Amino acid sequence: MDIKQYMKQIGERARQASHAMAKADSAAKNRALTLIAAAIRRDADALRAANKLDLDAALANGLEPALLDRLTLSDKAIATMAEGLEQIVALPDPIGEISNMKVRPTGIQIGQMRVPLGVIGIIYEARPNVTVDAAGLCIKSGNATILRGGSEAIHCNQALAKLVKEGLAGAGLPQDAVQVVETTDRAAVGELITMPQYVDVIVPRGGKGLIARLMAEATVPMIKHLDGICHVYIDDKADPKKALDVAFNAKCHRYGTCNTMETLLVARDIAPSILPQLAKLYAEKEVELRCDDEAKKILAGYAHLASATEEDWSTEYLAPILSIKTVGGVDEAIAHINRYSSKHTDAIITEDYSRALQFLREVDSASVMVNASTRFADGFEYGLGAEIGISNDKLHARGPVGLEGLTSLKYVVFGHGEVRT
């Protein structure tokens, strides 16, 4: 198969389908989502059978247990996919809304209409549920989508794609609105990220390695974050209980997520009292603490103590490891964060009003928090209803990205024959 030619055809079909999707009304889009959910429940057995083909191949190839786990389509995972689609049905349709309408002195009325981006390319790894989640969000936001899942999940993804197409057809929408790339050849990804004439934005979902590779080559814009090096700063005016609760939750609620704290900053004046209490909590989870000299002295005797190196301040551990640095106060904390943070999510714990506002204003990250766990940085927790990804960039979407991140605003002008003089 000529991959270049194959991807070009997929691109052309997606672009074509995107015009029909942009015009589709809410009822048709919701009908498609409802039909897909029903088809997934109906064909649960067939989906598991397809998944078994993938799992057998993965076992034969010696895939890691963590990846096998993500690849597995359990009964619960199948039910969750169908429910996820029904939740998307319940979200308001963002498309067509006109806002900010103003009358200008010339007589024209000007506002902005929310419209789909067009064609969204999604590149992801093992999890087959992404196929359905991403298809659902793209359908609801009036976009066409090209899905490129991991080669490990190819049978399952193709079985799901068939159900998605069935639902689209049942609602009178073009089946090409959702296309799953059917080759596992890596060159297909290279094509997908370099055809801006067919693809308006790429949303990569996967590890840092995948995204860094894509960034180096892509000519299509991406909504992406590379890593989450998130900070909590405990100010000397912090409420100790809040500090303990948040610093423990931000590190230990889940280790492998991008909104997990990786570095704790502590004000010098509160470090001697707060750090030993915190260490008691971390000790239960056997969290390794990589400290600067001051913090290390305070924590002498802690079972999993180590010295932080310069590299630690830029490391996303995704593991029960935490780097700790003592700082003089809020200014030093902000400077450290703006230097080392991945601009994902950073929090201050303080009861001081002015320092809270200063931190919110000056920390240059997608999410900035006062007295709350960084773990809240998430589309569902923020009330977006669904999340297609997270962006650490400043242009277009920033932070958790929901339906609105898959749309654009165009200007609409209502005139009465006005001309410019």
Q: Which residues bind a copy of itself (CB under 8 A)?
A: 19, 22-23, 96, 102, 104, 106, 108, 110, 113, 115, 117-118, 200-201, 221, 239, 241-242, 245-246, 248-250, 253, 338, 347, 360-362, 364-373, 375-377, 381-383, 394-396, 398-400, 408-421
Q: Report which DSSP code applies to 93.
A: P
Give the Cα separation of 265 and 165 in Å (integer).
50
Q: How many residues does the chain have?
A: 421
* Least CB distance to a copy of itself at residue 338 (A): 7
User: Which residue number, 200 or 235, has a Cβ lying nearer to a copy of itself?
Assistant: 200
List, in order, residues 6 or more apart from 47 with CB less than 8 Å away: 40, 73, 78, 156, 159, 160
Bridge partner residues of 288 (DSSP): 321
* Least CB distance to a copy of itself at residue 371 (A): 4
What would the DSSP string read from start to end of 286-347?
Answer: T-EEEE-HHHHHHTTT-TTEEE--GGGGG----SSEEEEEEESSHHHHHHHHHHH--SSEEE
* Least CB distance to a copy of itself at residue 239 (A): 7
* Least CB distance to a copy of itself at residue 266 (A): 17
Identify the H or E element spanning 266: strand 261-267
CB count in 10 Å sphere of residue 8: 15
User: Which residue number, 74 or 106, has a Cβ lying nearer to a copy of itself?
Assistant: 106
User: Which residue number, 9 or 106, has a Cβ lying nearer to a copy of itself?
Assistant: 106
* Least CB distance to a copy of itself at residue 13 (A): 16
* Least CB distance to a copy of itself at residue 314 (A): 14
Give the Cα separation of 196 and 183 in Å (integer).
20
User: Which residue number, 40 or 349, has a Cβ lying nearer to a copy of itself?
Assistant: 349
User: Which residue number, 109 or 175, has a Cβ lying nearer to a copy of itself?
Assistant: 109
User: Which residue number, 188 or 406, has a Cβ lying nearer to a copy of itself?
Assistant: 406
User: Which residue number, 76 or 410, has a Cβ lying nearer to a copy of itself?
Assistant: 410
Q: Are 140 and 407 in contact (CB under 8 A)?
A: no
User: How far is residue 307 from each of residues 103, 251, 396, measured CA to CA in Å?
Assistant: 63, 18, 39
Closest by CA to 161, choosing from 137, 193, 135, is 135
* Least CB distance to a copy of itself at residue 356 (A): 8
List, in order, residues 6 or more apart from 188 with CB less than 8 Å away: 3, 6, 7, 148, 181
